[in-house]
Structure 1
Amino acid sequence: MSTYLTAAEAAAALGVSVPTLYAYVSRGMLRSAPESAGKRRLYAADEVRRLARRKADGKRAGKVAQKVLDWGVPVLESRITLIAQGRLLYRGRDAIELARTATLEEAAALLWECARACFDDAPDAPIASSAWHTWIKQMRASAPHERALVMLPVAAAQMPRLYASGKPAQLDTAVTVLRVLAAALAAAPLSREPLHRQLAAAWGVSQRRHVDLLRAALVVCADHELNASTFTVRCIASTGMHLVGAVTGGLAALAGPRHCGETMLVTALFHEAQEAGDVDRYVAARLARADVQQRTILPGFGHMLYPNGDPRAAVLLDMLAGHATTRAERQALAQIDSIVRAANDATGLAPTVDFALSALERVLKLPAGAAFSLFALGRAAGWIAHAMEQIEDGRLIRPRARYIGPDESAP
C-alpha cells in the first residue's frame, strides 16, 4: 500500500514551495488525492520520490549527458533494485541480509513479485531426459557459458508458452529458464531440487557449510540494477522477444571480460600470485607495468558504485572465512587474504563480487568456471524481473546517438 504525504511534506521532499507543488499538479507532473476524512489533498510518496529523482537527474544531465551510458545519470525507471550509500536493496529489502538465509528461489519470488510457490507449481521443463542427456554429452567439454548459450535456445523450442503475455505463463517460463540454465551451466540433469543444491550435487559439494556458501552467492548475484547485461536484456525484451531470448542475450553480454568474465581474470590472478611467491612484489610489479586506463590492472578490485567496498564481496568473504575449517581451505584462504591486503595497501581498493566468487571457487576446489556459473545463474533471476518489467512497460528502448563524424552537407 502506498504511503501518502501532505502538501508541506511533499514540497519539502521536492525542495520547492507549496505553490510550486500545486503548479506541478496543474501541469500533470504529479497527482493528488483527497484525504478520506478532511479537506486536505495528499500525494503518493512513491510519485513524489520519482519526481524528485527526475529533477535531480535533470540538474546533472547537462554536465554528464555524454556519460549517460557510462556510469552516468539513470536512463530507465525501475522498481526492482536500488544501489545507494553502499547498500544493495531488492524491492526495498537489504540483499546482503537476505543472502544470509534466503535461497535464490526466494530472492527470485521477491524480484518477480510472486509467491515462492510459483517454483513448486511450475510444470517440469518440457524436454525429454534422453534428449537433454544427449545435448549435455555433446557439450560437456565446452565452457559453462558456451553450453548455456547453445542449450537455452535449443530448449526454447520445446517450451509451449514462450510468447504468452499473462503473468502465470511468464512465471512458468521463468522457472523453466532457471532450471534449464542451472543444468546447462553445471552439465547436469534437469531437476526440481533447489538451485543451489543442484549446483552442489553437480560439483560434488556435500558439506552443509559449503552448500550454504553457494546459496548465499546466488542470492547476492541475483540483481544489480542496470548493468550492461541487464540493459541488454531490457532492450531485447522491449522488442517483444520472449524471456528465453532476453536471458540468452544477457548471458552473452555477461561473458565479456569487463563483466562477469572478470572472474576468469581473477582466477588467473590467483595463479600468478601463487607462482610469484611474494604477493606484495607481484602486485607492485603488476601496477608498475599496467596502463592506468585499463580496469583490469588488478581484476576483481574497485567498484564504481561502491567506493567504500562491495558489500556482496564482504559478506561472501566473511562467510568463507567462517566456513574454511580444513588445513587446505585455510591455506588457500590465507593466500587470498594476502592478495586483498597487498592490493588494498597499494591501491586502497577493496575486492568486488567477482573476486569473492573466484575465491569460493578456489577455496572450495570447485570446477573451473564455477564462479561464472554462480554469477550467471543468480543474475538470471534479476534479468527475468527486468524483462517482465520492460514487457509490462510496453515501450521500445531506442536511444539516440550524438553524431560526431564528418558532415558531407557542410560547406
Structure 2
Amino acid sequence: MSSHLTAAEAAEALGISLPTLYAYVSRGMLRSSPDAHGKRRLYDADEVRRLARRKEDGKRAGKVAQKVLDWGVPVLESRITLVAGGRLFYRGHDAIELARSATLEETAALLWECSPRRIAAAPAAPITGAQWAAWLKLWGESAPLERALVLLPAAAAQMPRVWALGRDAQLDAACMLMRLLAAAMISAAPASEPLHRQLAAAWGVRNRRHADLLRAALVVCADHELNPSTFTVRCITSTGTHLFGAVAGGLAALAGPRHGGETARVTAFFEEAARSGDIDRHLAARLARDDDGTHRHRLSGFGHPLYPHGDPRARLLLDGLAEHAGTRPAMAEVEAIARAVRDTTGLPPNIDFALASLERVLALPAGAAFTLFALGRVTGWIAHAMEQTTDGGLIRPRARYVGVHPATD
C-alpha cells in the first residue's frame, strides 16, 4: 500500500461514505493534504489505518469493556509487533521465518530500526573487569533473576549517558543493557559475541544444531506485543526514567508465576510426571485437582488465548528439538506428555512448554528456560521503551470505582 490514499481509497478503508470522510476531516479526526500533481486531496495511509483500527476497537468496546485489560481491546497503539491469524510478526516480518536463521542481534536491529552493524559496533559498558568480578563474587551464587535485578541498577550508575534521549545514546544504552543482562544471568563477563553463542558456551552446549535451537528460542521470545512485562516497561518509560530502570521493572513483572515463571511450573510438571511412572494417570489426577468447579482447567504450558490453533513459536522449537535431539530419552517424555495433554484436553503446547522442553532435553542448567525467555524479551522491551519515548505521554488510566460511595447531604 502506498503512503497516501485518495479520498475514495480512504473512505473504502474506513467503510464510510465520502461525505462522512469529509466530515471526519472537518472535525479534526483525519488530515488531508493537497496532491502536488492535481486538485484532489490525499490522506496519509498510516493515519487512515490507525483510525480504522480505532473504529473497529470502538465497535468491540461495548462488549468487552469489563475485560479491556484482560485480553480485551488494545490499550496502546504500537508499530512493533502484530499477533493475528495465529501468526506472529515483528515490524511486518514473520517472526517464525526470522527464527529459522536470524540471530537475536539481527532481530534487535529490526525491532530497534537500526542496522546489525550499528549493534555490533556499540561500545562496551564502562565497567572494569575488577568491578564485574567483585559483583559476581558477591552475587554469583544467587539465581539468575536475582543477579540481574541487583547488577543492572548498579551498572546503570556507571553509565555516563544513561539519561540521554538522543538516538545514538539510546542505541548504545540498549546494546550495553542487552549484553549486561546476559552477563548477569549466566555469571560471565560482558561480551559482544552473539548471545546464543554466549549461552552455548556457558551451558556446555557443543552441538552446533543444539546451539541453533537456543538462537531460535531467543528470536521467538523477542516480543509479544502488550504482555504484562512489556506493558510494565512502557508504563515505567512513560514516567521519563531510563532504559535500565524500565527493564528492571520488566524483569520483576516477567518473574511472576503467571508470566515468565510459567516455565518453572512446566519444569515441575515434567518432574512430577517422571516420578509418577504413569503419565496418563498423573495427568488425570492433576486435572481433577485443578478443576475450578466449572470443568475448566489451567495447565501450565498448554493453550494460548492468542493462538487457539496452536502456538507457532512452540511448534518451531519442538519440531527442531525432535529433529536434532530426538534420540535423547527426555525427548520421548516430552512428546508423551504433549500427546497425553492434547488427547485429554485438546490443548496444544505453548512457548512455556517448548522452552522447558529445551531445558530438559538438552540438559541445560536449572532455570535456563526462564533465562532464554528473559534474554530474548529484553530486545522487545527496549523497542517498546524507545517507541514510548518517541510517542511521549504519561500512561495513566483511570480506575472505575466500585466500592462504597461516600454519603451525600
State the TM-score, normalizing by the size of structure 1.
0.96
- CA shift digits 1:119-151 (9 cap, x unpaired): 222111111112111211222221111111111
AA paired with 2:43?
Answer: Y
Query: In 2, Cα distance between the equivalents of 1:409 and 1:2?
Result: 58
315-324 vs 218-227, which deviates more? 315-324
43-52 vs 108-117, which deviates more? 43-52
Partner residue in 1 for 2:300: 299
Partner residue in 1 for 2:38: 38
Query: In 2, Cα distance between the equivalents of 1:316 and 1:204?
Result: 19
Partner residue in 2 for 1:312: 313
Q: CA deviation at 1:14?
A: 1.0
- 2:384 pairs with 383, 386, 397, which one? 386
Note the residue ranges of structure 2 that are not aligned, 5 or more in a row.
none
Q: CA deviation at 1:297?
A: 3.3
Partner residue in 2 for 1:21: 21
Output aligned runs, 1:194-343, within 5 Å. Answer: 194-292=194-292, 297-324=298-325, 327=327, 329=328, 331-343=329-341
Q: Does the CA-based 8 Å contact 2:291-2:297 persist in structure 1?
A: no
Partner residue in 2 for 1:397: 395
Q: CA deviation at 1:62?
A: 2.0
- CA shift digits 1:101-129 (9 cap, x unpaired): 10000111111111111222211111111
Q: Does the CA-based 8 Å contact 1:2-1:46 persist in structure 2?
A: no
Q: Does the CA-based 8 Å contact 2:6-2:42 persist in structure 1?
A: yes
Q: Does the CA-based 8 Å contact 2:234-2:388 persist in structure 1?
A: yes
Query: In 2, Cα distance between the equivalents of 1:296 and 1:214?
Result: 31
Sequence identity (%): 70
Query: In 2, Cα distance between the equivalents of 1:39 and 1:145?
Result: 61
166-175 vs 11-20, which deviates more? 11-20
AA paired with 1:177?
Answer: L
**Alpha carbons of structure 1 residues 313 and 113: separation in structure 2 relative to 1, 3 Å:** same
AA paired with 1:110?
Answer: L
Q: CA deviation at 1:346?
A: 1.1
Q: Does the CA-based 8 Å contact 1:237-1:391 persist in structure 2?
A: yes
Query: In 1, Cα distance between the equivalents of 2:17 and 2:250?
Result: 44
Q: CA deviation at 1:294?
A: 11
1:114 aligned onto 2:114: yes
1:136 aligned onto 2:136: yes
Q: Does the CA-based 8 Å contact 1:129-1:190 persist in structure 2?
A: no
Query: In 2, Cα distance between the equivalents of 1:296 and 1:383?
Result: 31
Query: In 2, Cα distance between the equivalents of 1:370 and 1:405?
Result: 44
**Corresponding residue pairs, total:** 408
Query: In 2, Cα distance between the equivalents of 1:47 and 1:336?
Result: 47
Q: Does the CA-based 8 Å contact 2:81-2:92 persist in structure 1?
A: yes
- CA shift digits 1:143-200 (9 cap, x unpaired): 1111111111111111110100101000000000000000011111111111111111
Query: In 1, Cα distance between the equivalents of 2:151 and 2:171?
Result: 20
Partner residue in 2 for 1:353: 351
Q: CA deviation at 1:49?
A: 1.2
Query: In 2, Cα distance between the equivalents of 1:19 and 1:406?
Result: 47
Query: In 1, Cα distance between the equivalents of 2:296 and 2:210?
Result: 31
AA paired with 1:49?
Answer: R
Query: In 2, Cα distance between the equivalents of 1:205 and 1:251?
Result: 25
Q: Does the CA-based 8 Å contact 2:310-2:349 persist in structure 1?
A: yes
Output aligned runs, 1:67-216, within 5 Å. Answer: 67-216=67-216
Query: In 2, Cα distance between the equivalents of 1:279 and 1:25?
Result: 62
**Alpha carbons of structure 1 residues 229 and 295: separation in structure 2 relative to 1, 3 Å:** farther
Q: CA deviation at 1:380?
A: 0.3
Q: Does the CA-based 8 Å contact 1:361-1:370 persist in structure 2?
A: yes
Partner residue in 2 for 1:66: 66
- CA shift digits 1:364-391 (9 cap, x unpaired): 1000010000000100000001011111
Partner residue in 2 for 1:50: 50
Query: In 2, Cα distance between the equivalents of 1:397 and 1:294?
Result: 38
- What SS does the aligned partner of 2:83 have? strand
Query: In 1, Cα distance between the equivalents of 2:130 and 2:232?
Result: 33
Query: In 2, Cα distance between the equivalents of 1:240 and 1:164?
Result: 11
63-72 vs 101-110, which deviates more? 63-72
Q: Does the CA-based 8 Å contact 1:263-1:372 persist in structure 2?
A: yes
135-144 vs 74-83, which deviates more? 135-144
- What SS does the aligned partner of 1:43 have? strand
- What SS does the aligned partner of 1:184 have? helix
Q: CA deviation at 1:295?
A: 8.9
176-185 vs 128-137, which deviates more? 128-137
Query: In 1, Cα distance between the equivalents of 2:370 and 2:295?
Result: 21
Q: CA deviation at 1:43?
A: 2.1
Partner residue in 2 for 1:409: 407
AA paired with 1:193?
Answer: E
- CA shift digits 1:276-317 (9 cap, x unpaired): 122112111111111338998321111111111111111111
Partner residue in 1 for 2:9: 9
Q: CA deviation at 1:2?
A: 5.2
Query: In 2, Cα distance between the equivalents of 1:273 and 1:295?
Result: 21
- CA shift digits 1:297-351 (9 cap, x unpaired): 32111111111111111111111111115x4x2x211110111111111111111
Query: In 2, Cα distance between the equivalents of 1:159 and 1:344?
Result: 49
- What SS does the aligned partner of 1:343 have? helix
**Alpha carbons of structure 1 residues 49 and 294: separation in structure 2 relative to 1, 3 Å:** farther
Partner residue in 2 for 1:368: 366
